[in-house]
Chain A
Amino acid sequence: MTKVTVNKSARQENDELAAVIRQRLAEHGVLTLNLVSSPGSGKTSLLERTVRDLSGELRLATIVGDVQTERDAERLREAGALLVQPITTGGLCHLDARMVTAALERLDPESLDILLIENVGNLVCPSSYDLGEDMKVVIISVTEGDDKPLKYPGMFRRSSLMVINKTDLLDHCDFEMDAVVTNARKVNGNIESLAVSCRSGEGLDSWYDWLRTQHERKRRKEPA
């Protein structure tokens, strides 16, 4: 018997495709965000609002991953989004770089400022699939409990920003804003956070400012 050391990653193929996507979008200064959350935290709602409110100012495109339907894509289309291509994953629990590569085939990065990718609602699987994004943004709604970061550390560790959504429901939930931020920081000392309500619109300005800042950095090719 001969024992050979191999040390090859099972994610290598995905990572190589992601690197190609990242390179291509970086050449044109396109800020690319991978939006992740549990099912129903408000990814599509946040994108709908963002597209409605910022389309006059920034050139946005969205890619949306849905397990079986194109419902989310339809909602975004109605909001006026430039939809690159909806991806129905046919039961798969996450998007991968191959799907994003295919979706991007007909996209001209030159004509874009920000690409927003809505991942499949799932706090586990999407976190270890690099899509070529600049950053992951994790969305958590106040109805989910403020201990979510401790229960799903992988997702919160790999995200740069935590958007706390549905603040209009705070009075009805045992959700402590301080606790969720403390918990997220235990997992990831660098994570930023902001609170919004996609229903009332409260806090969305700070999300838009964050987007503007990140886009500006990206355009100037500064590190985040």
Chain B
Amino acid sequence: MHEFDLARSILDIVNQEASSRGLQPMAVEITVGRMSDVVPEALSFALDTQAAERGLVGVTFNMCPVPVTMLCRRCGHEYEVADSDFTCSGCRSTDVEMISGDELEVATIEFEDRPCETSQETPYEDTV
């Protein structure tokens, strides 16, 4: 349900990046950690339904799922967590830290090389 909120933040980021470069965005890659509490399909839907009203027409949003990767502080082992057991798969230590898997980020944006015509204007009217 909070995917709609997060989609707005993502669209804002894309708009900021686009207007600071004066370029038209074409494709956006979004990294979605498996522990980010975000359902990629729901986020994708939320982005598609809100993009136009935020002034982003014809932009493709691609979800890149990120597995949960842990680092063991005791033995240095790096491993992926597939279920809910976060203990070190090497030495069973629980002194572990998450390296990736809870991110929700605009990773990359592909821009058209030709500047976009409306680059001088505000990309959208804020509708609150």
Residue ranges of A at the interface with B (Cβ–Cβ < 8 Å): 1-13, 92-94, 96, 124-125, 127-129, 149-151, 153-154, 157, 183, 185-190
In the assembled complex, the Cα of A4 lies from the Cα of B1 at a distance in Å of 29
In the assembled complex, the Cα of A12 lies from the Cα of B23 at a distance in Å of 23
In the assembled complex, the Cα of A157 lies from the Cα of B83 at a distance in Å of 13
Judged by a CB distance under 8 angstroms, whether B53 is at the interface is no
In the assembled complex, the Cα of A93 lies from the Cα of B5 at a distance in Å of 11
In the assembled complex, the Cα of A6 lies from the Cα of B29 at a distance in Å of 10
In the assembled complex, the Cα of A5 lies from the Cα of B10 at a distance in Å of 14
Flag if A9 contacts B94 (CB, 8 Å).
no
Judged by a CB distance under 8 angstroms, whether B91 is at the interface is no
Q: A128-B36, A128-B37 are in contact. Are A188 and B86 (CB under 8 A)?
A: yes
Flag if B107 contacts A6 (CB, 8 Å).
yes
Q: A3-B108, A6-B109, A190-B94 are in contact. Are A150 and B17 (CB under 8 A)?
A: no
Q: What are some 26 contacts across the A-B interface (CB < 8 A)?
A: A3-B108, A4-B17, A6-B13, A6-B109, A7-B105, A9-B103, A9-B104, A10-B9, A10-B13, A10-B30, A10-B104, A11-B104, A92-B1, A92-B5, A125-B1, A125-B2, A125-B37, A150-B85, A157-B35, A157-B86, A183-B84, A186-B86, A186-B87, A187-B85, A188-B86, A189-B95
Q: Within the complex, which residue of B35, B36, B95, B104 is in contact with A153, where a contact is CB–CB below 8 Å?
A: B35
Rounded to whole Å, the gap between the CB of A131 and the closest CB of chain B is 14
Per-residue 0/1 for B47-80: is the Cβ within 8 Å of any A Cβ (1 yes, 0 no)?
A: 0000000000000000000000000000000000
- CB-defined contacts of A128 to chain B, threshold 8 Å: 36-37, 102, 104
Flag if A150 contacts B1 (CB, 8 Å).
no
- CB-defined contacts of B17 to chain A, threshold 8 Å: 4, 6
Closest 6 CB pairs of A and B: A189-B94, A150-B84, A153-B84, A10-B9, A128-B37, A10-B104
In the assembled complex, the Cα of A8 lies from the Cα of B109 at a distance in Å of 11
Beyond the given A4-B110, A8-B106, could you list 8 further A-B residue pairs with CB under 8 A, ordered by the A residue number?
A1-B113, A3-B110, A4-B108, A6-B109, A125-B2, A157-B86, A187-B85, A189-B96
